[in-house]
Amino acid sequence: MNDFDFISALNAFNEKYLPKILIFLLVFVVGSLIVKLLLKLIRKIIDKSKIERTVITFFFSILKIVLYLIVVMTALSTIGVNVSSIITTFAAAAITAGLALQESLGNVASGVVILISKPFVAGDILEFEGIKGYVRSIRVFSTQIHTFDNKIVNIPNSRLTANNVTNCTGQTNRRINLSYTVGYDDDIDLVRKIILDLAKSDERVLKDPEPKVYVDKYLDSGIQIVAWVWVEPDDYYGVYYMMQENVLKEFKKNGVTIPYPHIQLVKE
């Protein structure tokens, strides 16, 4: 009797649900194949464009999710499932989840803003809240920075859109601002010549705009000299530290005074 009941139930199940399951699988498989072909075609078209790679990766992943959701909904609709109620349920769940995950959704929205407005792209050098390094990748929730001391820092996208970010590679060249203090009795023309000769001897220093040296301020202990040197962004720190070291050596070699604060004790 039990065997008879089981077989009857199985036959009833097969008769009622098996055709729907097969239709669902058929529609899903065919839909998935169409999605794969469509994504492959879109990828080929996009790869020939000049769109930033990070933007392509970001939106391609979203497009893939959307297309597969459409396939699933279409397959469910084909077998008579009320898709409208499912969509309504998902929408309600999405609103509830959205309220609980406002910060995460804010990061996603900020990531979209970054990718569209392009204040920076992968490979740019950024300065942000004391962090300096290359943009490694722009992700859904955060931007990854590879710092100059070989650390990986993940910064939430919402912080990058809400605060000031310095893009050091936004232009084709970058100016190095150097400052030196020399004594009042030193030869300013000699000081200028030393700095300019050192700058022009380095091939990384650009000829246009050419290096400049000016008298900036009259301090209590000496005269402040400023120098402007233009380089390509990747050469910034190399030239900066080269100038700092070699200017000091040349000043000492040529007898240029480098004043420093000191206290004189007088005996009574």
Q: Tell me, yes or no, whether 52 and 125 share the same domain.
A: no
State the total domains in the chain.
Answer: 3
pLDDT of residue 1: 46
Judge whether residue 143 has pLDDT over 70: yes
Q: What is the pTM of this model?
A: 0.56
Summarize pLDDT for 156-191 with one digit per residue, the tens. Answer: 999 998 888 988 887 888 999 999 999 999 999 999
Q: Can you give the three-state secondary structure of the chain, one letter per residue? A: CHHHHHHHHHHHHHHHHHHHHHHHHHHHHHHHHHHHHHHHHHHHHHHCCCCCHHHHHHHHHHHHHHHHHHHHHHHHHHCCCCHHHHHHHHHHHHHHHHHHCHHHHHHHHHHHHHHHHCCCCCCCEEEECCEEEEEEEECCCEEEEEECCCCEEEEEHHHHHHCCCEECCCCCCEEEEEEEEECCCCCHHHHHHHHHHHHHHCCCECCCCCCEEEEEEECCCCEEEEEEEEECHHHHHHHHHHHHHHHHHHHHHCCCCCCCCCCCCCCC
> Residue 11: which domain range?
2-100
Q: Tell me, yes or no, whether 46 and 136 share the same domain.
A: no
Summarize pLDDT for 55-89 with one digit per residue, the tens. Answer: 666 677 778 888 888 888 887 777 777 767 777 77
Last residue of a domain, one of 71, 100, 129: 100
Last residue of a domain, one of 137, 167, 197: 167
Judge whether residue 155 has pLDDT over 80: yes
Give domain status of residue 80, yes or no: yes
Q: Tell me, yes or no, whether 160 and 235 share the same domain.
A: no
Give domain status of residue 189, yes or no: yes
